[in-house]
Amino acid sequence: MFKIFNHYFRRRIILQIAMYSMVIVSTLIVSLALQGGVGVFNGAVISSGVIRGGVMAIGIIGVNFALGLYDRPGKLTIGQVRARAVLSFVLSMIIAASILLLLPLQPPYQNEQTLIALLLIVGGMLVMRLLGNEMLPSSYTRQRVLIYGTGGRASIVGQSLLENDPSIELIGYFRGPQEKGPVIQGLNVITPGKTLTDVVREQRVNEIVVALSERRGGSMPLRELLDCKLQGIRVIDLATHFEQLLGQIHLEAVSAGWLIFGDGFKQGLVRSVVKRLFDIVGSGILLLLSSPVMLVTALLIFIESGRPIFYRQERVGRNGDVFDVIKFRSMRQDAEKDGTPRWAGAGDTRVTRVGKIIRKMRIDELPQLFCVLKGDMSLVGPRPERPYFVERLTLDIPYYALRHGIKPGLTGWAQVRYHYGASIKDAEQKLQYDLYYVKNHSWLLDLIILFETVGVVLTGKGAQ
């Protein structure tokens, strides 16, 4: 794992992004050098290739993030990967052509030849993607992991590793001296016949995840774990494992001490000012671009079910302050005629025909841009919840109030990582992602969320 601006990236993704960027930049430099004469690698050629290639790489990588091509493999079928890879190729060519149009090459260099060279190279990467081949050898991305523990927690860790990271090679489960019987069945359970350091050395382990159900009474071989760490082996606990691998703060693994004494939860002045400026500029641009869509939506709602076009609803914001959120009305006027708040679920009969469309495309959320301009919300943050549900969830779910430490957002980490929530169990799952964002929020994570939000809107993932 690599930590960049408070966000964790898998080594495979970082190496893949670096390789893609190097290939694009190198293709531009070689193409320009060949056009200027064989072997002409002067400063102008290199700087031109680096600038244009770097911008192209950022755009193409952003498209891939939005389409979920860097997502964990279990979330997409082979057909979805291939369809999105083709779409990525088309959008990549549009990005490359647009950059060459905005930053045209000067004679004797030709934009058309450079674009053809890029088309061939990016097309080659596309073919490799369609065939399921990685550009990097598995030896560079393979991570050999040993889980210390054989109980329920160890089982959860093993399942998450196998489902979410193909670069992980699970060596097995090392049984602790105080564990009476393994929950793990049919897998490689290593009994304490050998010492932990011997197993690590023999199996060439790169990382140890401590997942004991009980960590008191001498069950932790502290000396051996320290020896492993001194040998360059990564040793992490259960909470850190889920934070780094899945981008969530796992409620069953976390403790108040881990939250208090760990890093994160930074609320600096510079970060707040930059985020606010980004919210103002971003929401203003989005309102301008989406105004035709909003006008058509308002007209369709009025034609189908009359007024009101919008509806206001109380939501809980930063530090528990209550504000009114504005959305396009997607339900009947009498959706809560009994006065009892209810979550919207799949196939909700209260949703109108126009409402189904605008909810699926997230158009009903657009008026919240005015809340962002006003300062009640941010473009990125935990989704604001109604006071009625906040009171219930705060009592039922530990650490729920922590999500109100920052402004709520139009979109958020939970929205791009988890499907639409309509129950206390869903709220608990989404909270784990919200806590990750509150702990690790940064401008880079905001950009990733915005890119992935585009993909969510385009694919209709998680809509109700």
* Residue 383 structural domain: 269-333+349-459
Q: Are residues 125 and 28 in the same domain?
A: yes
CATH code, domain carrying 162:
3.40.50.20
Number of structural domains the chain divides into: 3
- Are 241 and 303 members of one domain? no
**What pTM does this model have?**
0.81
- Give the tokens for residue 278: 């980004």
Are the beta carbons of 238 and 152 closer than 8 angstroms? no
Instruction: Read off the pLDDT of residues 344-376 as tens digits, 9 standing for 90 and up.
Output: 655 667 788 888 888 888 888 999 999 999 999
More confident residue, 366 or 332: 366
- Say how many Å lie between the first and final Cα of the chain, rounded: 34
Residue 416's pLDDT band (cuts 50, 70, 90): confident
Mean predicted confidence (pLDDT) in 236-257: 88
Candidates 455, 361, 444; CA nearest to 417 is: 455
Q: Are strands 168-174 and 189-190 parallel, antiparallel or unpaired?
A: parallel
Chain segment 136-160, per-residue pLDDT in tens? 555 556 788 999 988 888 888 888 8
> What is the identity of the amino acid at 78?
I
Q: Does 415 lie in the same domain as 316?
A: yes
Average pLDDT across the chain, whole number: 82
Residue 161: predicted pLDDT: 84
Cα separation, 99 vs 53, whole angstroms: 9
The pLDDT assigned to 181 comes to 63
- Which of the listed residues 79, 111, 133 is the one where a domain comes to its end? 133
Are 434 and 313 in a shared domain?
yes
The tens digit of pLDDT for each residue in 186-231 reads 568 876 678 888 899 988 999 999 988 776 655 677 888 999 999 8
Together in a domain, 420 and 275:
yes
Residue 254 placed within a domain: no
Tell whether 109 is covered by a domain.
yes
126 shares a domain with 158: no
Same domain for 93 and 208? no
Residue given tokens 């993607």 in the structure block: 129
106 and 9, same domain (yes or no): yes
Determine the pLDDT at residue 406. Answer: 93
Q: Are 282 and 179 within one domain?
A: no
Whether residues 151 and 94 fall in one domain: no
